[in-house]
Amino acid sequence: MMSNNKFKILLVEDDENIRNFINTILELEGYYSIIAKKCSEAFTMFYSYNPDLVILDLGLPDRDGMDFLKEIRKNSITPIIILSARSDDTDKVLALDSGANDYVTKPFSSVELMARIRTVLRGNSFILNARLRLEGKFVLDKLTIDYDTRQVFLNENEIKLTQTEYNILSLLSKSSGKLLTYSTIVREIWGFKDEGSIKKLQVNMANIRKKLGINPGEESYIINELGVGYRINMNK
């Protein structure tokens, strides 16, 4: 019997061992899992159960999981975490640019997967957008972003950012829980991509992290997925 208090997670995975392993973990963590072994089953389960989150394998027996991702993204913003053996950065970027919220490569640990699930659910845009409309602010631990005044505060002290730095941080905060690729950020901030655009992003991000007191290698507030992109650390 499904509890209305549980998050519903659609697990799309054809490998029986991995499927059973994840299903067990989800149930132990108090989630309600819905199982699909093929892409065709995934569509049926998605529209029947309206899940809060989808964990999606790409190598499915009937169709590629990317087909499911692209089709669902035409009319739904339900969070989707890709779980795949495809570990190349190109595959990650393609999935994220196609609308995936996060990308976990196999093999994976249960601790990592659960952390990613909590982060994505916490940053669910349904909840986030409602909060932004009501408050006009983003608050995470000791960091506050005031969207109305375009000010940033850390420990109640204002942090002076350039216009570009503010735009980058604001974009990341409004996409909380979602990993944004370098190309997505560049497109949103500058509207184009050239040979030096990624370097400009990295320079601006280094300045933001420095002003927020983040030391190199730390994941406080902003996480850098090397070779892929950035996201806000919702586990602060």
Q: pLDDT digits over 151-163, tens only?
A: 999 998 999 999 9
Q: pLDDT digits over 173-222, tens only?
A: 888 768 899 989 998 898 876 667 888 999 999 999 999 987 666 657 88
Q: At the fourth CATH level, which superfamily is domain 8-122?
A: Response regulator (3.40.50.2300)
Amino acid at 202: Q
Where does the pLDDT of residue 1 fall: very low under 50, low under 70, confident under 90, or very high at 90 and above?
Answer: very low
Mean pLDDT value of segment 125-135: 53
> What's the rounded Cα separation, in Å, for the pair 118 and 177?
9
Residue 126 above 70 pLDDT?
no
Runs of H (alpha helix) within the chain: 16-28, 39-49, 65-72, 89-97, 110-122, 125-135, 163-174, 182-190, 197-211
**What would you measure as the largest C-alpha separation in the chain, in angstroms?**
55
Check the CA dihedral 50-56-59-65 and report its sign.
positive
Domain 128-232, classified CATH 1.10.10.10, yes or no: yes
Q: What pTM does this model have?
A: 0.71
For the chain, domain boundaries: 8-122, 128-232
Q: What is the DSSP letter of 24?
A: H
Runs of H (alpha helix) within 157-229: 163-174, 182-190, 197-211
Residue 4 above 50 pLDDT?
no
Cβ neighbors of 147 (< 8 A, separation 6 or more) are 132, 136, 137, 138, 170
pLDDT at 119: 84
